[in-house]
Amino acid sequence: MSKGFHSRLRFNFGFLLEATLGESRDIELDYPDIRVAEDLQLTPLRGKLRVSRTSEGIYIEGELATAVLAECVRCLVEFSLPVTLQLDDLFYYPPSTAPQGEYVVGENGFIDLSPLVRELSLLELPMQPICKSDCQGLCQECGANLNEGDCGCSDDDLDPRLAILGKLF
Ligand SMILES: [Zn+2]
Ligand SMILES: [Zn+2]
**What residues does each domain of the chain span?**
10-135, 138-169
Contacts of 13 (CB under 8 A, 6+ apart): 51, 58, 105, 109, 110, 111
- CA 164 to ligand 2 centroid distance, Å: 12
Distance in angstroms (rounded) separating the CA atoms of residues 164 and 12: 63
Residues with CB under 5 A from ligand 1 (ion): 72, 74-75, 131, 135
What is the per-residue pLDDT for 154? 72
What is the per-residue pLDDT for 108? 87
- CA 80 to ligand 2 centroid distance, Å: 26
Q: Which ligand is nearest to the CA of 133?
A: 1
What is the per-residue pLDDT for 1? 46
Contacts of 122 (CB under 8 A, 6+ apart): 40, 68
pTM of the model: 0.79
> Which residues is 47 bridged to in the sheet?
29, 64
What is the per-residue pLDDT for 156? 59
| 117 Cα distance to chain centroid | 7
What is the per-residue pLDDT for 164? 61
Per-residue pLDDT of the chain (169 residues), as tens digits, is 445 678 899 999 999 999 999 999 999 999 999 999 998 989 999 999 999 999 999 999 999 999 988 999 999 999 999 999 999 999 999 999 999 999 999 978 999 999 999 999 999 988 999 999 999 999 999 999 999 999 999 765 556 565 565 555 5
- The secondary structure of residue 37, as a DSSP letter, is E
Distance in angstroms (rounded) separating the CA atoms of residues 37 and 4: 10
- CA 68 to ligand 2 centroid distance, Å: 30
- The secondary structure of residue 99, as a DSSP letter, is P
